[in-house]
């Protein structure tokens, strides 16, 4: 089976072509949702298979520095595992990092999860924003303290720009608190358009980061 991915002029489409036919089983409509999300009637309760052809691999960055951040990140990791058409395949350790930008706030707890998902990038972002709200996220100002921050870091090898959604995440290659947990669970990661995550991490080695046991 051959997987095709097209990225043109701010739009994206994926398709899967079976050998010997041009049968398209999954494609995005104009609002970025999969046209046919789970072929053969798969659903979470019937059991997701990570190798199923309609699943994508996304890496999600998690961060919190309010209201018991360790519990917030742990709860969010569990919630990711219960997202529709999704399961967490790998989760990093928790890390403690110093705040960036606005410095007069508590340290952050960070982690990265590898998600196998049938959701499109836009549907995944909507689901992450809903999880943030469920865990009391408010947006008072840029870089403000937060109960939960969820970012799509990578989605397959996609390079994608649309209003409110950029993949790879535009700051991920500059942040040790993203790169170190990512490398812990996926040491060979590439950041499309940038280079290897390992090379990016070497550029961030002066940023303070503590891995929690």
Least CB distance to ligand AMP at residue 203 (A): 20
Residues that bind ligand AMP (CB under 6 A): 125, 149, 151-152, 164-167, 169
Q: Would you tell me how many other CB atoms lie within 10 Å of the CB of residue 125? A: 20
Q: 127 vs 152, which CB is nearer to ligand AMP?
A: 152
Q: 38 vs 172, which CB is nearer to ligand AMP?
A: 172
When CB distances to ligand AMP are compared, the closest residue is 164
Q: 14 vs 38, which CB is nearer to ligand AMP?
A: 14
122 is catalytic: no
Long-range contacts of 44-49 (CB under 8 A, 24+ apart): 44/82, 44/84, 44/85, 44/86, 44/87, 48/85, 48/86, 48/87, 48/116, 48/118
Least CB distance to ligand AMP at residue 125 (A): 6
Least CB distance to ligand AMP at residue 103 (A): 17
Catalytic residue among 91, 96, 151, 175: 151
137 is catalytic: yes
Least CB distance to ligand AMP at residue 161 (A): 9
Antiparallel, parallel or unpaired: β 108-117 and 56-64: antiparallel
Q: 100 vs 165, which CB is nearer to ligand AMP?
A: 165
33 is catalytic: no
Catalytic residue among 87, 91, 146, 175: 146
Q: 88 vs 167, which CB is nearer to ligand AMP?
A: 167
Catalytic residue among 149, 156, 175, 206: 149
Long-range contacts of 101-108 (CB under 8 A, 24+ apart): 101/142, 101/143, 102/141, 102/142, 102/143, 102/144, 105/65, 105/144, 105/145, 106/65, 106/66, 106/69, 106/145, 107/65, 108/63, 108/64, 108/65, 108/69, 108/177
Catalytic residue among 137, 190, 202, 206: 137
151 is catalytic: yes
Integer Cα distance of 211 and 93 in angstroms: 7
Least CB distance to ligand AMP at residue 104 (A): 17
Catalytic residues: 137, 146, 149, 151
């Amino acid at each position: 089976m051959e997987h095709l991915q097209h990225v043109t002029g701010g739009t994206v489409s994926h398709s899967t072509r079976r050998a010997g036919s041009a049968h398209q089983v999954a494609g995005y409509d104009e609002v970025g949702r999969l046209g046919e999300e789970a072929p053969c009637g798969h659903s979470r309760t019937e059991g997701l298979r990570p190798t199923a052809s309609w699943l994508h691999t996304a890496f999600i960055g998690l961060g919190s520095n309010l209201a018991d951040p360790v519990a917030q990140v742990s709860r969010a990791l569990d919630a990711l595992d219960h997202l529709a058409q999704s399961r967490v395949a790998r989760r990093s350790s928790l890390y403690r990092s110093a705040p960036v930008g606005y410095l007069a706030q508590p340290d952050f707890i960070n982690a990265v999860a590898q998600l196998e998902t049938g959701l499109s990038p836009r549907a995944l972002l909507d689901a992450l924003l809903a999880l943030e709200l469920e865990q009391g996220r408010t947006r008072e100002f840029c870089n403000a303290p937060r109960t939960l921050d969820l970012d799509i870091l990578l989605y397959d090898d996609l390079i994608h720009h649309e209003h409110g959604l950029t993949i790879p995440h535009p700051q991920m290659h500059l942040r040790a608190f993203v790169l170190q947990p990512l490398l812990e669970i996926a040491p060979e990661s590439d950041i499309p358009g940038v280079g290897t995550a390992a090379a990016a991490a070497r550029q961030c080695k002066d940023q303070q980061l503590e891995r929690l046991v």
